[in-house]
Amino acid sequence: MLDLLRRGTRLVWGALSRFFSSRAVRKFFLTPTSATGFFLVLAFAVVAFLAPVLAPPRPGRNPYMIPRDSYLNEPQPPSKEHILGTTSGQYDIWYGMVWGTRTAFRIGIVVTFASALIGIVIGTLAAFYSRVFGEISMRIVDIFMTMPFLIAAMVMTTILGTGIDNVMVALIAFGWMTYARLARGDVMTVKDLDYVQAARAVGASDWRIITRHLLPNAIFPLFVMATMDIGSMVLAAAALSFLGLGAELGYADWGQMISFARNWMSGTVGSPLIFWYTIIFPGLTILLFGLGWNLMGDGVRDIFDPRMRGSK
């Protein structure tokens, strides 16, 4: 077990150090778009880390529940006390944005890693073992893909009930298929290459072939690429929250902050833009987060996926 752990660490460490000294990574940071993306995501990570400093929670309360001054319905404009104003129901927008960053990272990381892991395991096994198992699992993938992602997740949250955890389960349940397909394709390509055949010829076990040959050459790059989907997973969760199927009421979550704004977009007679702050601040936050991941993802794809090269 310890040996396995040490070997795993060395494997990851070797890949990482090769990764950071390579020409591709230098290119990543010298390209303005991908560098911008990286620093946007980094900025959000810092905000998430410093959340208790940037928006101190009231003592003794669950910090993820946004504090509210009163139960007044009408949003209040930015003031000294609430620097970005309050949204419908007097939830502080700044507080919701800052702690919502933590929620976003938690959803994004958990959902992406879990679905990538499930997908990669199924895809690898489908490629590696018998044709029958491979065919069956790919047909199951086809069937799961028949339902539009958002609608499938909607069905799932209707059945499970709302709440962040259920949203994550729903997104994982209908998010693993793409990874399974990619993993199967990548492993199929690699497993017929000479060095894998050679390993098999000298009598290496399946486990050894998977961990020593397929993992670093087919699966690790796919995993790195999967992390780039964190942005889109967060947007999907936000969409569910916007529909009222996501976070519980008052939970620090970007999608919910935007759903609060929904009823105020027509403004009042004579001043249609009066409640602009309820949508502009949360909207800008989500846009920058999504943009950061997408810009970074484009750069990473250029490095890792030769199929995408030249199609910029």
Partner 1 sequence: MLAYIVRRLLLLPVVLFGVTLIIFAMVQMVGPYKRLSLYVNDATLAHVRSSEELVRLVHKYGLDRPIYEQYAGWLNGVFHGQLGYSPTAHLMVQDALVKYLPTTAELALFSLIPLVFFAIRLGVFSAVRQNTIGDHLTRILAITGWSLPTFVAGLLLLLFFYKWFPAGRLSVWTIPIVNSPDWHTFTRMYTIDAVLNGNWRVFLDALRHMVLPIVTLSYISWALILRITRSSMLETLRQDYVTTARAKGLPERVVINRHARRNALIPVATVAGWTIAGLMGGVVITETIFNYPGLGRFAASAALQLDIAAVLGFALFNGLLLVTANLVVDVMYAFIDPRVRLE
Q: Interface residues with partner 1 (CB under 8 A)?
A: 139-140, 142-144, 146-152, 154-161, 231, 235, 238-239, 242-245, 255, 258-259, 261-262, 265-267, 272-273, 276, 279, 282-283, 286-287, 290-291, 293-295, 298, 311-312
Estimate to the nearest angstrom the gap between the alpha carbon of 4 and the chain centroid: 29
| Residue pair 257/282 in contact by the 8 Å Cβ criterion | yes
Q: Which residues lie closer than 8 Å to 268 by C-beta, 6 or more apart?
A: 274
Beta carbon of residue 156, minimum distance to partner 1 (angstroms, whole number): 6
Shortest CB 287 distance to partner 1, Å = 5
Closest distance of CB 124 from partner 1, Å: 22
Closer CB to partner 1, 78 or 290, in the complex: 290
Looking at the Cβ atoms of 215 and 238, the one nearer to partner 1 is 238
Token code pair at residue 297: 């993802």
Least distance CB 91 / partner 1 (angstroms): 17
- Which one, 221 or 246, has the nearer CB to partner 1? 246
The CA distance from 171 to 249, in Å, is 20
CB nearer to partner 1: give 37 or 123. 37
Q: What is the number of alpha carbons within 13 Å of residue 103 lying toward its C-beta?
A: 31
CA 139/CA 234 separation, integer angstroms: 28
Of 156 and 252, which has the nearer Cβ to partner 1? 156
Q: Residue 310: left if φ>0, alpha if ψ -120 to 50, beta else—which one?
A: left
Nearer CB in complex with partner 1: 159/202 = 159
Nearer to partner 1, 125 or 169 (CB): 169
CB of 145 to partner 1, least distance (A): 9
Q: Residue 202 Cβ, how far from partner 1 at the closest point, in Å?
A: 37
Separation CA 98–CA 89 (nearest Å)? 18
Minimal distance in Å, beta carbon 29 to partner 1?
Answer: 19
CB of 146 to partner 1, least distance (A): 5
Structure tokens at 284: 């800008």
Task: Supply the minimum distance, in Å, between the C-beta of residue 221 and partner 1.
Answer: 21
**Residue number with CB closer to partner 1 (204 or 279):** 279
Which CB, 215 or 286, lies closer to partner 1?
A: 286
